[in-house]
A and B are shown apart, each in its own frame.
Chain A
Amino acid sequence: MTNQSATPHTWRDRISAGWEAIVSRRWLLTVLLVIGFALSFLIPRFGLINPYVQLVMMYVGINIILATSLNLVNGFMGEFSVGHAGFMAVGAYVSALLSMRVIPANLAAWLFPLSILAGGAAAALIGLIVAVPSFRTRGDYLAIVTLAFNMIVKSVIENIDAIGGPRGIPGIPKLTTMPWVFGCMVLAVWMMRNLVYSNFGRGVLSIREDEIASDLMSVNTRQVKLIGFMVSSFFAGVAGALFAHLLQFISPRVFDILKSTDILIMVYLGGIGSIAGSILGATIFTILLEVLRPLGYFRFVLMPLLLIFLMLYRPRGIMGLREFRWFIPGYELFASKVWREKREVSDAPAS
């Protein structure tokens, strides 16, 4: 305890006041997005940061897309899907094959969004197939279905020789650049946020809280699950497409269960049911793995230890069902403020 902390204006107060000032100015989000988009063009153009850091930044962006999309199913819908890398594989293979074999080489760079979308769409179609068993079972049995799905995707790819079989596809054109990653990431987060706070999103949340009750309250649970799984796998496919064109080499081995586990860890590290949590979790996970690279194999010991301690002391993850204020729509903030004031009035002792 220093002298300073006795005065009302401690450094802690100042930080929280500063934080409050940042958080309450929502227009800052737009400004930051514009700056970020400009930077994503400028950094590769003028080589402001060394290429390795640029690469890590792009991986962070891709992992954010993956974590937010998995959070829709695992966090907001309350299912337990453990085969997210399977959808990623579908997106990666479809888009890589499109831009290598279908689209002429001189047009590939211009038609890149088309191949991203095609990867996403293919993954979404496959997502429909996984969504159907979720009508009848949930919890551990659905975990099995998604797990088996991941293994089936891997094994199917290994058995088709036309797409490289177990050797994979080398020499994919490097089309993923920083503006693409940034743009896709912002779009994914934005769409996910709008989805969660829409009418449909309320249905998703009601399935998490109680499926039967929400069915009785006339939520069309089948439709909601179907669309939820489709949207989630669509973005996994998009991330896979970006990933394939960044790594320039994909093989079925890349998309095995260990990859799915990584995505799961990002989601639960950041906190379920929170978009900001997924962003945070993906960022921390990716950067930490890179920062700890000098430790060699020991970094693989450190990461799970971190996860275990986090779960022991904060079982709901870093954010844990809370949301960053910028992502919450204004009317909802207003409604909760009014509700809080009313409660304070009614709780006040009548004197």
Chain B
Amino acid sequence: MDYILQQSLNALQLGSIYALIALGYTMVYGILTMINFAHGDLFMVGAFFCFIVATFLKLSFIPTLLISMIGVALLGVAIERVAYRPLRQAPRVSAVITALGVGILLESVMLVIFPYPQSVPTLLPNITWTIGGVTISLLQVIIICLSIGLMLLLDFIVRRTMVGMAMRAISWDKVIVPLMGVPLNLIISVTFALGTSLGAAAGVMYSQAFPVIDPYMGVLIGWKAFISAVVGGIGNIRGAMIGGFILGAVEIMVVAFFPSTYRDFVAFTLLLVLLIFRPYGILGQPRPQKV
């Protein structure tokens, strides 16, 4: 029982990181119907920002988190401005390929700057509590609480504020809504800033939990987060959160009861089966096709 509880806690930790990254995918998809394949690499850049700030400026956890979120948000907005905006009218797939290119570019630039894996200094005191046989560390508490807090904040922004209303309106219709006075480019930039800063937060927390980082760390995690966004129903913000937690739970449970090398295999097979029975994800709505 204790073992299961302990593993559930780990699942919650991994799932909240996946969910944070998945939110970035799903927000950009919801507003531009475009898969931002560079998002996993922005997560990696977030982890490297954490490494740089913690190593060279020696700041504590909160300033490091904020600086890396702001820095990656600026980077995300710049990428949208330079690489994606000119392609908004182009065929969808060329924007996707551009995103793939941007992702590889980020990896390569980081590889040039940091050719070897780096180890991130720990920013949080190593405090653990033991409650009835379950060990909880301060880091786990912070990761889970911070992620859920950020998700609630995002949910609030999207559902209760003017900016969120504009975002939802633009994802509904990109022709009429700008005519009503909604600044299209500004709202898209805000969406990118929000989504990428959540990815950076995930990167900082991930680099605290698993302190050795390298430029290719974002590839697999990014794709997995993308899968969780799709499982939840891509374009749906609450779906992305659910999908992230499901993927985290499945992975940790596989590791808990099977040899750990089966992790990817079982996780992806389950997701495939889920997609066969619910092709539009858990919360996604099937869109009627018109001829």
Contacts and interface: CB of A to CB of B under 8 A. Distances in A.
Interface of A: 74, 80, 133, 136-137, 140-141, 143-145, 147-149, 151-152, 154-156, 158-159, 166, 210-213, 216, 257-258, 261, 264-265, 268, 272, 297-298, 300-301, 303-305, 307-308, 311-312, 315-316
Given A80-B93, A297-B111, A312-B87, A257 B105 contact: no
Interface residues of B, number: 49
B234 A297 contact: no
Nearest to A312: B86
Contacts, number: 132
A312 B87 CA distance: 7
B128 interface: no
Nearest to A299: B108
Interface string B82-107: 01001100110111111011111101
A297 B265 contact: no
Contacts of B90: 311, 315
Contacts of B268: 148, 151-152, 155
With most chain A CB atoms within 10 A of its CB, the pick from B86, B104, B264, B269 is: B104
A137 B87 contact: no
B104 A148 contact: no
Contacts of A143: 35
A141 B275 contact: yes
B227 A147 contact: yes
A307 B265 contact: no
Contacts of B93: 74, 80, 268, 272
Contacts of A74: 93
Contacts of B226: 144, 147
B105 A304 contact: yes
Contact of A140 (B95, B103, B112, B230): B230
B272 interface: yes
A212 B289 contact: yes
Interface string B257-291: 00101111100110110011001100000000101
A316 B272 contact: no
Given A137-B275, A264-B100, 4 more contacts: A166-B261, A258-B216, A261-B100, A265-B97
A265 B275 CA distance: 27
Interface string B20-63: 00000000010000010000000000000000000000000000
24 contacts: A137-B275, A140-B234, A148-B272, A151-B264, A152-B265, A152-B272, A155-B262, A155-B268, A210-B291, A212-B289, A257-B220, A268-B93, A297-B111, A300-B111, A300-B112, A301-B112, A303-B104, A307-B98, A307-B100, A308-B102, A311-B90, A312-B98, A315-B91, A315-B94
B219 interface: yes
Interface string B234-269: 100000000000000000000000010111110011
A144 B98 CA distance: 18
A61 B269 CA distance: 34
B78 interface: no
Contact of B280 (A141, A268, A272, A307): A141
Interface of B: 29, 35, 83, 86-87, 90-91, 93-98, 100-105, 107-109, 111-112, 115, 216, 219-220, 223, 226-227, 230, 234, 259, 261-265, 268-269, 271-272, 275-276, 279-280, 289, 291
A315 B93 CA distance: 9
A297 B101 CA distance: 16
A315 B97 CA distance: 9
Contacts of A80: 93, 96
Contact of A261 (B104, B262, B291): B104
A74 to B, nearest CB: 8
A53 to B, nearest CB: 26
A137 B94 contact: no
A55 B279 CA distance: 44
Contact of B108 (A144, A151, A211, A304): A304
B271 A148 contact: yes
Given A297-B112, A304-B101, A308-B105, A212 B275 contact: no
